[in-house]
Structure 1
Amino acid sequence: MREDVESLDITDVTGNWVTAKILTAEFENRIKALADLVHTPLFFGRLDYREHEAGHRFYIGRRHVHDAHGDPMVIDWRAPVSQPFYRASRTNPMDVALRRRFGYTGGELTAYEDEHLTDPTEADTGSALLQAEIERPRVGPMRDIVATIQPEQDEIVRAGIGGTVCVQGGPGTGKTAVGLHRVAYLLYAHRDRLARTGTLIIGPNRSFLHYIEQVLPALGELNVAQATVDDLVAQPHLPVRGTDTPAAARIKGDARMAQVLRRAVRSGIRIPTEPVVVVRGSRRWRIPAYEVEELVRELTGRDIRYGAAREALPQRIAHAVLVRMEQSGEAPDDRVQDAVARNTAVKAAVKAAWPPVDPAKTVLRLLADPEFLAASAEGILTEDEQKEILWAKPARGLASARWSAADTVLIDEAADLVQRTHSLGHVVLDEAQDLSPMQYRAVGRRCSTGSATILGDLAQGTTPWATATWAEALAHLGKPGSAVEELTRGFRVPREVIAYASRLLPVIAPGLAEATSVRESAGSLTVRSVQPGELADAVLAACRDALTQEGSIGLIAADARIPALAEALGAAAVPYLSPGEETTPDIRLTLVPATLAKGLEYDYVVLDEPAAVVDGEPDERTGLRRLYVALTRAVSGLAVVHAAPLPEQLGARS
């Protein structure tokens, strides 16, 4: 297929150089999309429908493949005819007589397995190939799960583009993979629409985005943007150099700040007290002050953006002038109205009544000027809350200010109050439970006229403003009433490990359903208590034991202990990587700060000193949630090494 595209001669098929350039770019993108993926087989299943004539047998794969005559050889997994591969069962065969799964090793076909869905004599023993694929060791970045999508996951993947879907999923339930495959499905089903409006994936940090970045290209989708929330609201000319106290960050992330900012942005509006006199030629046209006041009050009362109202005001004044010109017998047209709107007297009146607003300068003044903050926050924030977010040392200007990450979200909100933020067709937000209400609003602005897929786990919220309920989060996002789906069947975290970590759930997420595991192998779990002076040696020994196994190893520790562990690994000549760096056959150990572990997965995890992970957070509940995240990163085995007492919720290891 790639060679067919490369052989096409488009030298004389376009009318001009612009069309030729566009067509060439399209061909180059098509060739790029058809690139070979050496270890990624193109098909993984086959469906034989009950009628076995030609055309009723379909090979299912990652993308569409046709032969030299244009006849399909492999059907894209997203096509409607492929859906029974994921949802057909013995109770509902969906007209499928046989489902075949293919097994691969290093890109070579090594096995196949048949399910006769309409044969009552065949026992339903489950799929050994499916189980083997789920439990296959993981080395390198995240893989697609297109061959192992489960029915409940497929329902979410194929949900329509018209509405927003929120997915609550415990560790290992595949919520991230479901979100990525949903993007691939929507691009297949609504390609023209999303090509115009755009698609975006938002992750918690750069390490996470690097970890997932190969999934969509493996499915043939190359042009999906990825970003963090900080990337979305970044102000290129205002670098983040400051940090907030947890209390200040919580207040700045509170939804009430949107009301404070609205007041601050509109604080400069003044009711006119002078008439507007427009001179055109030998005539003077006078609009009395009361009439200009009515125009300003009418715009003030409407729920439109500050910038749009400011652009409308000179046109409203010009229209009032045109009415008087028509009453005097003149016949002005639109060009005259535009000219009047640009008149010096009109521009001066607009500037006085509705002055221009710079979002960054407004936020700067809000955080540096106690009187301005008090006026904007009256009845919204308490005096203590106002003192908490005020800067101790007022900045002299925008460039010298020590902006924090929360401040850039405030600037983004202020900018949207002035001018509408561009909306995309679809946004996927992963690890959503960690966003503040103001961050939700920032994301919601990016899909205000589109839809979203929200992914997260309330039990893994580790920020001071972590989401309490999905209904609250969806309201802040601007998508109230959206469907909330729950995934509770875990496919990656071993049964024994998830059961151990779930001891924390009654404290960190009361009422949340405990995730279960479908893994046939229970997985390994060891908890070793050592003397304080023996901790580093015990952790190194656990890492060496893990390295004797196949797959990736993650050494997770409290951020404060990372330098000491790095030094110990270096002294012991044990090579290691940082999060986001790709594992190799020679270096399979990654040293992971606990704050960056969320969303990552390793075949074996060594967890250093759980008590330090808990103590590294501002409060115990947040610390226990951070520990829950660290405990659930393992795919095959978990080794917990500690010198300090374990949190009482974990109890004694039986």
Structure 2
Amino acid sequence: MREDAQSLDIRDVTANWVNAEVLQRQIDERIKALADLSHTPLFFGRLDYLHAPGADRAEGAEGEQFYIGRRHVHDGDGDPMVIDWRAPVSQPFYRASKKDPMDVALRRRFGYTGGELTAYEDEHLSDPEEVARTSALLQQEIERPRVGPMRDIVATIQPEQDEIVRSGLAGSVCVQGGPGTGKTAVGLHRVAYLLYAHRERLARTGTLVIGPNKSFLHYIEQVLPALGELEVKQATVDDLVAQGTQVEVRGTDDSAAAVIKGDARMAEVLRRALRSHITEPTEGVVVVRGSRRWRVPSYELQDIVRELAARDMRYGAAREALPRRIAHAVLVQMERAGEAPDDRVQDSVARNTAVKAAVKAVWPAVDPAKLVLRLLSDAEFLAEHAEGLLDEAEQKAILWQKPARSVRSAKWSAADAVLIDEVGDLVERTHSLGHVVLDEAQDLSPMQYRAVGRRATTGSVTVLGDLAQGTTPWATRSWGEALAHLGKADAVVEELTAGFRVPTDVITYASRLLPHIAPGLAPVKSVRENPGQFEVRAVTGDAEIVDACRRALENEGSVGLIAADARCEGLGAALGEAGLAYLSPGEETTAESRLTLVPASLAKGLEYDYVVLDEPGAIVAGEPDGRTGLRRLYVALTRAVSGLVVVHCAPLPGELGRV
């Protein structure tokens, strides 16, 4: 298929060089999408149907055999050899069971080692005498060591996951999933499915995956290309607002200020501040055309301004409409005087100097960054527009102690940039995408939710998160509240409770924290047959922690040393003195370099075969409050795929109980 695309000759089929360039680019993208991926087999399963799909079973039409893979493959005659996993005919591979075989006689799974076919396993779904059993290949694939970036789960998608993946584009979905339930993978595979089912529409409107940080995005960036999808963009919320606001984030807020700036009440404060620039006209407008003078009296001008202000329009759109409304009033007078003005006359009147001056005075242009700068620098201006919304203490908390002289010199924080983005949308509508995936959503503030939501006003979203893993002072308390801020209150909330990544002993230990951090959530139940390696070990110093890492490296797979941020520098020095090379989060593990030193604040969303968790008490103490600290610890405890060793000199947090 790739050779066919490379051999295409377009010299005689294009009308001009522009068409040739466009067509050649499409061919190049097709060739790129057909590239071989090392260690990624094209097919992983087979379905033998009892009857031909769509045929009347009474006719006894003989069933067909389909190989299921990551992408469609056809032979030289165009006949399919491998069916894309997203096609309807592939769905029974994920959902068929002994109770509901979905007309499938046999389901075959293939096992690979380094890209080489090494095993296969058959399930005779229509045979009443065969006992249903857990797939050994499925278990092996789930427990396979994780070296390198996140890989797709296309061969191991479970029925409850597949239902979410294949849900329609029109509806938004929120997935609540504990550690290791595959919610991130479900979100990424949902994007791949939607691009398959609605490719032309999403090609026009665009898709976006939003993650919590650069390390996380780097970790997941190979999943969609492995499924043949190369055009999906990835970003953090900070990236999005930076693109929209064009301000440089150089400052930070304390937690109190960040919480208030992220509160949804700030949206109304900003709206009031913006609308305060609209003033009621006190004088009329006189338009001179040739020897005639046409006057729009102040009361009529006031009616026009009030009508525009009362409408649900963007500030900028209403400002652009104002001169045309004034020009229309002039044209009405001209028609009454017996003239016959046309659209060109109306355009000319709208561009008249007197009309422009009136618009500038009544409805001035507003720079979003300058508005937020004034709001955070001018106590009286803030008090005027925050009245009844923020109390004096809250207003004082967000005011800058040293006001900046200009937008460029201001030390904007990430929360400030979100405020500027909000004003920008009040002035001019933000471009909406067709579908947005928002991962680790529980850590967003209401204002950040609004920033994401306005980028999907005409599209749908897939929200992924775990309320128990919220580690910011403004962490989401309920998905209903979060979805309302996102503008998707009607989204369906799905819960995943089957754990595929974290071993039974590890998730059971971590779940001791759930009653203290998220009492209403059901604990994750691991479906893995291997309970995993688990140990809590008291140590006397860094040398023993290094030794624990050395022992973990004796196993196959990646190793993560997770520690409180304040302890990472010292542990890094200890590893260096011991001759153990280590990576930073986001750097890709290899067979030669498998140890990563992970600050607890960056552990979310990452996974390692073996984890050495340093000083749980220090992780808890490193957060502004105990509950947030316990949630950070819960995240750190649940990064292991095969084994976890907890090492500590200080006493363990009491919430973990006795081992």
> 1:96 pairs with 101, 104, 116, which one?
104
Q: How does 1:484-495 map to 2 (within 5 A)?
A: 484-495=493-504
Shift of 1:550: 0.3
| 1:483 matched to 2:489 | no
Contact kept in structure 2, 1:322 and 1:337, CA below 8 Å: yes
The answer for the alignment partner of 2:95 in structure 1 is 87
Contact kept in structure 2, 1:85 and 1:99, CA below 8 Å: yes
Write the distance in 2 (CA, Å) between the matches of 1:382 and 1:539. 49
Write the distance in 2 (CA, Å) between the matches of 1:596 and 1:18. 46
Supply the AA of the counterpart residue of 1:180. Answer: L
| 1:597 matched to 2:603 | yes
Q: Can you list the C-alpha shifts for 1:501-539, whole angstroms capped at 9, x where unaligned?
A: 000000100111111100101011110113xxx221121
Write the distance in 2 (CA, Å) between the matches of 1:167 and 1:208. 18
Q: How does 1:39-188 map to 2 (within 5 A)?
A: 39-51=39-51, 56-188=64-196
3-state SS, counterpart of residue 542 of structure 1: helix
The answer for the alignment partner of 1:3 in structure 2 is 3
Contact kept in structure 2, 1:93 and 1:117, CA below 8 Å: yes
Gaps of 5+ in 2: 53-60
Contact kept in structure 2, 1:237 and 1:399, CA below 8 Å: no
Shift of 1:84: 0.3
Supply the AA of the counterpart residue of 2:332. Answer: V
The answer for the alignment partner of 1:263 in structure 2 is 272
Q: How does 1:124-523 map to 2 (within 5 A)?
A: 124-234=132-242, 237-523=246-532
Contact kept in structure 2, 1:270 and 1:353, CA below 8 Å: yes
Q: Can you list the C-alpha shifts for 1:283-325, whole angstroms capped at 9, x where unaligned?
A: 1000000000001111111121100110011010000000000
Supply the AA of the counterpart residue of 1:472. Answer: E
The answer for the alignment partner of 1:611 in structure 2 is 617
Write the distance in 2 (CA, Å) between the matches of 1:210 and 1:508. 29
Write the distance in 1 (CA, Å) between the matches of 2:124 and 2:461. 38
The answer for the alignment partner of 1:17 in structure 2 is 17
Write the distance in 1 (CA, Å) between the matches of 2:363 and 2:552. 66
Write the distance in 2 (CA, Å) between the matches of 1:113 and 1:245. 56
Write the distance in 2 (CA, Å) between the matches of 1:129 and 1:383. 62
> 1:538 pairs with 541, 544, 549, which one?
544
Shift of 1:24: 0.5
Question: Which of 237-246 and 105-114 deviates more?
Answer: 237-246
| 1:562 matched to 2:568 | yes
Shift of 1:481: 2.2
Supply the AA of the counterpart residue of 1:8. Answer: L
Contact kept in structure 2, 1:409 and 1:438, CA below 8 Å: yes
Contact kept in structure 1, 2:49 and 2:63, CA below 8 Å: no
Q: Can you list the C-alpha shifts for 1:237-296, whole angstroms capped at 9, x where unaligned?
A: 521111101000000000000000001111111000101000011110000000000011
Write the distance in 2 (CA, Å) between the matches of 1:643 and 1:405. 36
Write the distance in 2 (CA, Å) between the matches of 1:6 and 1:481. 47
Contact kept in structure 2, 1:45 and 1:101, CA below 8 Å: yes
Write the distance in 1 (CA, Å) between the matches of 2:151 and 2:62. 34
Q: Can you list the C-alpha shifts for 1:155-187, whole angstroms capped at 9, x where unaligned?
A: 000000001000000000000000000000000
Identity %: 77
Which 4+ residue blocks in structure 1 deviate beyond 6 angstroms?
Answer: 52-55
3-state SS, counterpart of residue 541 of structure 2: helix
Q: Can you list the C-alpha shifts for 1:580-609, whole angstroms capped at 9, x where unaligned?
A: 101111110000000000000000000000
TM-score, structure 2 normalization: 0.98
Shift of 1:335: 1.0
Shift of 1:55: 6.7
Q: Can you list the C-alpha shifts for 1:217-236, whole angstroms capped at 9, x where unaligned?
A: 00000010000000000157
3-state SS, counterpart of residue 656 of structure 2: coil
The answer for the alignment partner of 2:57 in structure 1 is none
Write the distance in 1 (CA, Å) between the matches of 2:593 and 2:10. 47
Contact kept in structure 1, 2:504 and 2:530, CA below 8 Å: yes
Shift of 1:103: 0.4
Write the distance in 1 (CA, Å) between the matches of 2:610 and 2:3. 43
TM-score, structure 1 normalization: 0.99
Gaps of 5+ in 1: none
Contact kept in structure 1, 2:43 and 2:70, CA below 8 Å: yes
Contact kept in structure 2, 1:535 and 1:641, CA below 8 Å: no
Write the distance in 2 (CA, Å) between the matches of 1:81 and 1:262. 51
Supply the AA of the counterpart residue of 1:223. Answer: E
Q: How many residues align?
A: 650
| 1:573 matched to 2:582 | no
Question: Which of 580-589 and 247-256 deviates more?
Answer: 580-589
CA-atom RMSD in angstroms: 0.9
Write the distance in 1 (CA, Å) between the matches of 2:38 and 2:263. 49
